Amino acid sequence: MIRFAFAGRVSTEDQQDPEASRNWQLGRANALVGQHGQIVAEFFDIGQSRSIPWKRRPAAGRLLELLQEPGRGFDAVVIGEPQRAFYGNQFGLTFPVFVHYGLQLWVPEVGGPIDPDSEAHDLIMSVFGGMSKGERNRIKIRVRAAMAAQAQVEGRYLGGRPPYGYRLADAGPHPNPGKAADGKRLHTLEPDPVTAPVVQRIFSEYLSGIGIFAIAQRLTADNILCPSAYDRRRNSHRSGAAWSKSAVRAILGNPRYTGYEVWNKQRKQESLIDVDDVALGHHTRLAWNAKTEWVYSDQPAHGALINKDAFEQTQLRLAARGPQSTGRTTTRRQHPYAFKGLLFHDACGRRMQGNWNHGLPHYRCRYPSGVRPRQQDRPPDDRLPARGPAQRPDRFLVGRDIPPRPDRAFADHARGSADRQHTRHRECTTNTCRTRPQTVPVPSSTGSGHRPGSDPTGPTRTPGHRGPARHAGSRATWKSPDDQGGDPPTRDLTRRAGPHIEGS
């Protein structure tokens, strides 16, 4: 007597009865092997799509793992329905494993075990795999075509989460007699008396010229619950602390607020898990369709919160973006940076970036924390670029009437190795920096960048000041075009007056 292991699959519990599907598949398998042996083990997958390979199915994956064990407890595998077990080219990827471990695969369509040397058996199983794939595609096409017609012609609500500003309302019994007998009913959208005025306010303020971020701040300041806080049961994965710009933008771009039903905004997209290993199959993710593929109802399907003209004006402004959408004019202020392109970070050797802060130029490393310096980006040993400032003697006079004073403030940062990671300014004040003695007395004038009464060698911060702490722990290396003759090519200036140099 041959000991058999039964393998089967059912798609979903919602559309099919798993127990009924298992019983008829197991019945076909018993009818095939009843005279040759008995079934001693079962591997039945519930809720698994046929497009998923055997290795990724829970029960089928365990079956493949047991094939290589001598004490597996069965001598052959029987399948009740090949179209449910194999999809596409899955037979060609799975059957060689059975042949390798010397196990027979019994299928009712061939009347017994599959012969690995028979071209007819291989052709039959390949045909069943193609039929399984074609059946799945036909079902998908029919369902999508039917849903598109229901949304466009009938304006039917086809499920999903109701948009913020609406709630579900009963729309009568289901048109399908079988579903109506089970008590299922249709639903439609109706304005929510609590959230519908919020949606109207968002559109009104945006069309009046207020930005998305300002609208979100106003709603939060007025203690209006955001969508995730208003419906916590469906948004338990979100904090619901405040309104976000993305929530406001999603409301402004939703055409269902005009009263028309919209379908096919998203699709289930199947993408290869590994392009180098197609046998792993696909994973399914939701992806946005192009707006040209959205299906709109021919007639209004529910109460509108805004009119179509206001919605179209909103979309035009969203597409324009920037200050041009409100008619505002902006003027870009040009700040003079006397040391533009001349300062290099001592740890990584890259040029430092200038920012205007509190009326003074502020120099810092333009690369974030955690980025290792690249050796090819380091300047030469004299810490000057290939095109040095000697070719541009007027660079110190950009936006200035006089050249910079030699007593400008620079901080001195300890030289780091090429492998040291960047650290932000606040981290530099702890254990990365090494302050050096002052070589120039620090003036006490208020316009020099040094605050009276503060320690010029350590970090200083004014109460309420939100910028980075200023300290004397950074090194900036620069070369003046006047350095000629016996003067050294570089200078380290540590005085606090003048522009601020940040060490990261």
Mean pLDDT in residue range 411-420: 36
Helical packing angle, 90-100 and 119-149, nearest 10°: 140
Contact 7, 77 (CB under 8 A): yes
Which burial class, exposed, middle or buried, applies to 495 when counting CB atoms under 10 A from its CB (0-12, 13-18, 19+)?
A: buried
**pLDDT at 286 exceeding the cut of 70:** yes
Q: What share of residues in the chain are helix, strand, coil (percent, to 5)?
A: 35, 15, 50
Contact 365, 423 (CB under 8 A): no
Two structure tokens written together for 256: 């269902």
Mean pLDDT in residue range 27-45: 92
Count of C-beta atoms within a 10 Å radius of residue 17: 10
- Percent of the chain with pLDDT strictly greater than 70: 69
Residue 477 to residue 491: CA distance in whole angstroms: 7
pLDDT, one tens digit per residue, over 378-408 is 444 444 444 444 333 333 333 333 344 433 3
pLDDT for the residue 13: 57
Contact 165, 195 (CB under 8 A): yes
Who has greater pLDDT, 409 or 294? Answer: 294
CA 41 to chain centre: 43
Most confident of 156-165, 191-200, 327-336: 191-200
pLDDT for the residue 238: 83
Unique residue bearing structure tokens 């979309």 = 315
3-state secondary structure of 93: helix
pLDDT for the residue 485: 45
What is the radius of gyration, based on Cα positions, of the chain? Answer: 36
Unique residue bearing structure tokens 């619950």 = 225
Q: What is the pTM of this model?
A: 0.57
Contact 179, 208 (CB under 8 A): no
Mean pLDDT of all residues in the chain? 76
CA angle 265, 268, 272 (to 5 degrees): 140
- Name the pLDDT band for 182 (thresholds 50, 70, 90): confident
pLDDT for the residue 462: 43
Look at residues 360, 320, 54 and name the one whose alpha carbon lies nearest to residue 211. 320
CA angle 332, 337, 338 (to 5 degrees): 150
**pLDDT at 58 exceeding the cut of 50:** yes
**pLDDT at 118 exceeding the cut of 60:** yes
Mean pLDDT in residue range 453-458: 45
Who has greater pLDDT, 420 or 35? Answer: 35
Contacts of range 470-473, beta carbons closer than 8 Å, 24 or more positions apart: 470/500, 471/411, 471/428, 471/429, 471/433, 471/435, 471/503, 472/411, 472/412, 472/435, 472/436, 472/438, 472/496, 473/411, 473/412, 473/413, 473/428, 473/429, 473/432, 473/433, 473/434, 473/435, 473/503
User: Residue 338: how many CA atoms within 13 Å on its side-chain side?
Assistant: 19
Q: Which of 35-44, 245-254, 412-421 has the lowest mean pLDDT?
A: 412-421
pLDDT, one tens digit per residue, over 203-224 is 999 999 999 999 999 999 999 9
pLDDT, one tens digit per residue, over 327-349 is 666 666 678 788 888 888 887 77
Unique residue bearing structure tokens 């030699």 = 406
Query: What phi and psi, each to the nearest 5 degrees, are found at residue 163?
Result: -65, 155
CA angle 114, 117, 123 (to 5 degrees): 65
**pLDDT at 154 exceeding the cut of 80:** yes
